[in-house]
Amino acid sequence: MMEFLARLFGRVETETSRECARNRLRLVLVQDRATLSPHVMEQLKSELIEVISRYLDIDEGDMRVELDTSDASVALVASIPVKEIKRESAGAF
Amino acid sequence: MMSGTAIVVTSGKGGVGKTTAAANIGAGLAMSGPTVALVDADIGLRNLDLVLGLENRIVYDLVDVVEGACDVQKALVRHKHIDNLSLLPAAQSRDKTAVTPDQMKALTMTLRESFDFVILDCPAGIEQGFKNAISGADKAIVVTTPEMSAVRDADRIIGMLESEQIRDPWLIVNRIRPDMVKRHDMMNVDDLLDFLKVELLGVVPDDESIIVSTNRGVPAVMEEKSRAGRAFRDIAARILGNDVPIAAMLEPDDWLARFAKWLGISRG
Ligand SMILES: Nc1ncnc2c1ncn2[C@@H]1O[C@H](COP(=O)(O)OP(=O)(O)OP(=O)(O)O)[C@@H](O)[C@H]1O
Ligand SMILES: [Mg+2]
């Protein structure tokens, strides 16, 4: 009955408040959850340094690694200053 | 000797029904046999005594015990009607910093030696009071309502419990309004489970009988007719390992349902 009335008055077309809450909550939780524990973050950093150092001479002190949540999605953003490109890594000729 | 199980009732957001749930679960468990200690860990905002109708019997409190001013057995207040249910009241004139997590852990350990269940009523928030309450717990019950802010806070709490090594918490969805769910004006239990991805322990309807029973100091589980009371009895049974279906509570309490009930037609 309620559903019939709702349809009659076109309420079904518009977003229900439940859907509205679900959609908003989905975005909020993506952002809230986008944190790594300090321990995991440190480990990620040190492993990044390990891998990248094989190819580039980097400045670890000024390195920044963080999760960016400014959009609806989450991105891992790393800024790693390069001091020198290792000779053996440089493009040949 | 087998040690009892310590369960913390927590939520993050305030006012979603932790104290109500703790009192009813404690009473519900005790009514089916096991010995239960209810611990009011909301230091400075004592409430559990009121819900249980024990406010006039308090002599010592949790802080007295922790500070060694009295023995824990002496501070425990026995319930008037349920012999195997006891309350360890919170201190009212102190604050959360009067106790450390290590002290709470030791206290919980002691209680587990003489009770089958230790149910801890956690304060709102994620600060020291929360850390104290969860420090000795084996298991957590997260209470939420079907509202965005409560769910968001529950999500946060679930993450924090995990990082404190309290895994696989149980969820209670409190204050569900089946009529609103039916109109799509309230998130339903499945929506919440989709977000929180934890095991559902029970669903408690929004029910006037909670207010009435709190006024009387008699937990709703003790009232045969209370719908919320029945939900809490089912929750206690599930904690005891019984397989009780959850669906029944989600039907709206409309006149038709009441009429059907009057006719003796069970909607199971
Ligand atoms: N299922 C319910 N139906 C109706 N009212 C309820 C229900 N559950 C809780 N309430 C009411 O909501 C209010 C808050 O409940 P309660 O004190 O248990 O929450 P809490 O999470 O312990 O709050 P706090 O964070 O302040 O400790 C009380 O007035 C209580 O009676
Ligand atoms: Mg409370």
Q: What is the pLDDT of residue B250?
A: 57
- Min Cα separation B149/chain A (Å): 9
Chain A positions touching B12 (Cβ under 8 A) are none
Exposure class string for B241-252: b at 16+ Cβ within 10 A, else e: eeeeebeebeee
- Strand-pairing partners, residue A64, are A79
Cα separation, B21 vs B235, whole angstroms: 10
Suggest the residue from A18, A23, A36 to mutate for an interface test with chain B (most B CBs closer than 10 A): A18
Chain B positions touching A29 (Cβ under 8 A) are 152, 155, 195
Does B206 contact ligand 1 (Cβ within 6 A)? yes
Structure tokens at A10: 């076109």
Task: Give ipTM to 2 decimals.
Answer: 0.83
Cα separation, A38 vs B261, whole angstroms: 56
| Domain, as residue range, for B70 | 5-263
pLDDT at B263 over 80: no
CA atoms within 13 A on the CB side of B31: 21
Going from the Cα of A62 to the center of ligand 2, the distance in angstroms, rounded, reads: 46
B179-206 pLDDT per residue, tens: 999 999 999 999 999 999 999 999 999 9
CATH code of the domain in which B230 resides:
3.40.50.300
In the structure, what pLDDT confidence band is assigned to residue B253 with cuts at 50, 70 and 90?
Answer: low
- Min Cα separation B180/chain A (Å): 9
Question: Considering all CA atoms of chain A, what is the largest pairwise distance in Å, rounded to the nearest integer?
Answer: 78
The verdict on a CB contact (< 8 Å) between B187 and A28 is: no
Whether B151 is in a domain gets the answer yes
- B194 close to B200: Cβ distance less than 8 angstroms: no
Q: What is the pLDDT of residue A2?
A: 61
Whether B268 is in a domain gets the answer no
Q: What is the mean pLDDT of chain A?
A: 82
Write B1-4 long-range contacts (CB < 8 A, 24+). Answer: B1/B113, B3/B112, B3/B113, B4/B35, B4/B111, B4/B112, B4/B113, B4/B114, B4/B115, B4/B116, B4/B117, B4/B118
Cα separation, B113 vs A46, whole angstroms: 45
Q: What is the tally of structural domains in chain B?
A: 1
A48-75 pLDDT per residue, tens: 999 999 888 999 888 888 888 777 677 8
